[in-house]
Amino acid sequence: MPRIVQWERHIGRRLRLRDLFVFFTVVECGSMAKAALQLDVSTPSVSDVISDLEHALKVRLLDRTPKGVVPTSYGRALLARAHAAFDELRQGIRDIEFISDPTAGEVRIGCSDSLLAFLAMVIERLTLKHPRMHFHIQQVHWPTVEFPELYKREIDLVLARLVKLPERGRLEEDLDAEVLFDDPFSAVVGPNSKWATRRKLDLAELVDEPWLLTPLDVLAGRFFAEAFEARGLKPPKPLVAAYSPYLRSSLASRGQFIAVLPRSVLHADGKLYSLKRLPIQLSNRASPVAIVTLRNRTLTPAVRVFVECARESANAIFGEKSETRALAAPANAKGRELIPSRP
């Protein structure tokens, strides 16, 4: 491919946003016919757009196969860069909307079940100041080690429970993470449990009890297993293994079960279910909760307002900036406006 010079004259005037959108749709659908149906145009018109793009760039963008079309290496390169460009344009429109009405705006959030209680507190606090702000919540699995929704720019941020502390505000090469608070797990029971009034307990006494927790291969489950193993005990098999803290809280409130729940859930719903924390320690390790964003992606004003409110909520609920959060303070990324943490 010859080196591209004088981009505006050779390509810029012929490369239209609409054509790129058609290209995205073809790749997403896997065929020209399906893309045409989704775009409500004819298949030949879609084919013409792709041909014009390939002619303008002087490379083949798609390979035709018996099962449909797939992007070539050139097509994948265009797809990656153009996605970022489209995303920045969308972010710009959202900036304009927020500037025209500071009480409104949209924030797209990825969140696991275990952090929905804290997210609800943040949204409740935020909507008092910005009553017309909108929130789109997308469920993500935890412990969160991959963030495909962020990379696809489907969401603005993830409220995540991390396996480890980020280093200097960086989780991965392309991800920033700001720790809000430590969220340790506790063993809890309902008011009618035989353990509810005990001031001292040993894990050995609870080996044969009906436990409610997450699957053992995720964070709370690992902490649970390690606590027993540290005492030389075989970890009991949970009677119910479920991601939903609502299910675990509801069952624990009935009296016969012991549930493992994070501190944030107890703070939000402990009184609702009359839950009592048992005097045993499940782990000495940190369970940091953080806001994760895509590095070098411009955050909209509404997203920055959400981040600030999440900080304020964490400080109001769990106290001043903890040692865990201080160790993982965000680094200043070049070309990106970060909201300074409150002292």
* DSSP, residue by residue, 211-241: EEES-TTSHHHHHHHHHHHHTT-PPPPPSEE
Q: Could you give phi then psi for residue 159, rounded to 5 degrees?
A: -90, 105
Q: What pLDDT is attached to residue 323?
A: 45
Domains of the chain, start order: 7-83 (1.10.10.10), 101-183+287-327 (3.40.190.10), 185-277 (3.40.190.10)
CA–CA separation, 228 and 226 (whole Å):
5
> And the tokens for 232?
């030389």
Q: Is 147 helix (H, G, I), strand (E, B) or coil?
A: coil
Mean local confidence (pLDDT), 104-113: 89
pLDDT tier for residue 9 given thresholds of 50, 70 and 90: low
pLDDT at 163 over 90: no
**Residue position matching structure tokens 């012991």:** 258
> And the tokens for 324?
């865990």
Q: Across all residues in the chain, what is the average pLDDT? A: 83
pLDDT tier for residue 53 given thresholds of 50, 70 and 90: confident
CA–CA separation, 261 and 224 (whole Å):
11
For residues 335 and 302, which has the higher predicted lDDT (pLDDT)?
Answer: 302
Bridge partners of residue 56, in order along the sequence: none
Amino acid identity of residue 187, one-letter, is: A
CA–CA separation, 224 and 207 (whole Å):
11
pLDDT at 10 over 80: no
pLDDT at 181 over 90: yes
pLDDT tier for residue 189 given thresholds of 50, 70 and 90: very high
Residues in the chain: 343
Q: What pLDDT is attached to residue 239?
A: 93
**Residue position matching structure tokens 């239209």:** 16
Residue 217 has a CB neighbour count (10 Å cut-off) of: 10
pLDDT tier for residue 169 given thresholds of 50, 70 and 90: confident
Mean local confidence (pLDDT), 244-259: 92
Residue 57 has a CB neighbour count (10 Å cut-off) of: 18
C-alpha distances out from residue 329 to 170, 264, 291, Å: 9, 21, 11
Q: What pLDDT is attached to residue 99?
A: 74
Q: What pLDDT is attached to residue 334?
A: 36
Q: Which residues contact 203 (CB under 8 A, 6 or more apart)?
A: 227, 228, 231, 233, 280
**What is the per-residue pLDDT across 121-162, written as a single tens digit (0 to 9) for each?**
999 999 998 888 899 999 886 655 678 888 888 899 999 988
**What is the per-residue pLDDT across 66-92, written as a single tens digit (0 to 9) for each?**
888 888 988 888 887 777 777 777 777
Q: What is the dihedral of CA 187, 192, 197, 198, to 10 degrees?
A: -50
> And the tokens for 190?
């309902």
pLDDT at 96 over 90: no
